[in-house]
């Protein structure tokens, strides 16, 4: 029997206006934004609906904004469509949305936690010291070797295994640039720096992981109603006792997205529903396996199409 996976986007999917249409048409969506506004003590909803983009791009705003928009969309999906998930997964930050969907975290706790997470990640490395770059058409083993050669005592390593031929590296800006030059010297021309404010998912994020552990230790984690395919292990976890440690590890560990999708396909998933802003994740699923049924739900039109 074919199964369905709900996917939740991470940082980079944000845009001014996200969630506004849903909040205007569905009380359950509006309520999600109100819960987050109350939890954070400021109008996150206004930032999502109206921007400005420069404020929305700040990591400590981006993370709760995407999370809340995703949960608002999820609540509409649950109320208005017959879609039901067998598995949950989220890309980096999106794993928190998956955990809210699976009942492990409340929206209020998740919003406060990811706002802290965004602050800690931004403060872990001074602006300009770190960088991330997308490396295309390079096999993982080859890229790992290039990073090892480029490090020269600094940090540079694969950070996101997104899809075949799309891996993101992160680390010290100087080391990332050396890796790009080495890759080009070996004939890999498609490498580009990403417009991010910090080098996520690498060893430079350890100070952020240490601070996040303190925050997570104080958060209530409930039983998981569905398995979450975790970024760190690309394996199904339904043990609520492991949620905190996996979220802490996730800060420095690479996002194993391609492997996570393959895990869900191996478990019988044939339909992938991306819930929240953008279409990044269904785009990656399509590159991983063209046979899958893909659904995007971020506005009223998406809800109607899925109903």
Query: Residue 72 contacts by C-beta under 8 Å, 6 or more apart in sequence?
Result: 19, 22, 23, 28, 29, 30, 32, 33
Please determine, for residue 173, whether its predicted confidence score (pLDDT) is greater than 90: yes
What backbone phi and psi angles, to 5 degrees, belong to 121?
-65, -40
- Mean pLDDT of the region 265-281: 97
Q: Say what the pLDDT of residue 159 is.
A: 98
Going from the N-terminus, what domains does the chain have, and what CATH number goes with each? Answer: 3-124+204-306 (3.40.366.10), 130-196 (3.30.70.250)
Share of the chain above pLDDT 90, in %: 95
Count CB-CB contacts under 10 A for residue 55. 13
Of the candidate ranges 43-52, 117-126, 191-200, 235-244, the one whose mean pLDDT is the lowest = 191-200
Of residues 237, 261, 232, 259, the one with CA closest to residue 248 = 232
State pLDDT tens for residues 47-84. Answer: 999 999 999 999 999 999 999 999 999 999 999 999 99
Please determine, for residue 307, whether its predicted confidence score (pLDDT) is greater than 90: no
Q: Say what the pLDDT of residue 196 is.
A: 84
State pLDDT tens for residues 7-43. Answer: 999 999 999 999 999 999 999 999 999 999 999 999 9
Q: Say what the pLDDT of residue 27 is.
A: 98
Catalytic one of 70, 92, 97, 163: 92
Our answer to whether residue 25 is catalytic in this structure is no
Please determine, for residue 218, whether its predicted confidence score (pLDDT) is greater than 90: yes
Please determine, for residue 250, whether its predicted confidence score (pLDDT) is greater than 90: yes
CB-based burial of residue 9 (10 Å sphere; 0-12 exposed, 13-18 middle, 19+ buried)?
Answer: buried
- Mean pLDDT of the region 166-184: 97
Q: Say what the pLDDT of residue 127 is.
A: 86
Our answer to whether residue 240 is catalytic in this structure is no
Is-cis flag, bond preceding 161, omega within 30? Answer: no
Mean pLDDT of the chain: 96
Of residues 231, 95, 108, 222, the one with CA closest to residue 159 = 231
Q: Say what the pLDDT of residue 195 is.
A: 82
Of residues 78, 70, 119, the one with CA closest to residue 99 = 70
Q: Say what the pLDDT of residue 69 is.
A: 98
Please determine, for residue 197, whether its predicted confidence score (pLDDT) is greater than 90: no
Q: Say what the pLDDT of residue 1 is.
A: 80
Catalytic one of 45, 97, 172, 201: 201
């Amino acid at each position: 029997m074919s199964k369905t996976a709900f996917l939740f986007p991470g940082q980079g999917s944000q845009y001014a206006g996200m969630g506004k249409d849903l909040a205007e048409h569905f009380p359950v969506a509006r309520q999600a934004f109100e819960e987050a506004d109350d939890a954070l003590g400021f109008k996150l909803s206004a930032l999502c609906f109206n921007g400005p983009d420069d404020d929305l791009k700040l990591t400590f705003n981006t993370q709760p904004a995407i999370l809340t928009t995703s949960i608002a969309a999820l609540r509409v999906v649950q109320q208005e469509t017959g879609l039901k998930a067998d598995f949950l997964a989220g890309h980096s930050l999106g794993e928190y949305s998956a955990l809210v969907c699976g009942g492990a975290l409340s929206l209020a706790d998740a919003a406060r936690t990811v706002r802290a997470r965004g602050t800690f990640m931004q403060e872990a490395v001074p602006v300009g010291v770190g960088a991330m770059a997308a490396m295309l058409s390079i096999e993982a083993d080859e890229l790992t070797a290039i990073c090892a050669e480029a490090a020269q005592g600094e940090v540079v390593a694969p950070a996101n295994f997104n899809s075949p031929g799309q891996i993101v590296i992160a680390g010290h800006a100087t080391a990332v640039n050396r890796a790009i030059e080495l890759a080009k010297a070996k004939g890999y021309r498609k490498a580009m720096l990403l417009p991010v404010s910090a080098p996520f998912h690498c060893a430079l994020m350890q100070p952020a992981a240490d601070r996040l552990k303190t925050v997570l230790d104080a958060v209530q984690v409930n039983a998981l109603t569905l398995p979450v395919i975790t970024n760190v292990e690309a394996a199904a976890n339904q043990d609520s006792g492991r949620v905190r440690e996996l979220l802490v590890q996730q800060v420095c560990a690479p996002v194993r997205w391609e492997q996570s999708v393959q895990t869900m396909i191996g478990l019988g998933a044939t339909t992938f529903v991306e819930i929240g802003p953008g279409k990044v994740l269904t785009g990656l699923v399509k590159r991983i396996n063209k046979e899958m049924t893909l659904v995007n739900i971020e506005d009223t039109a998406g809800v109607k199409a899925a109903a």
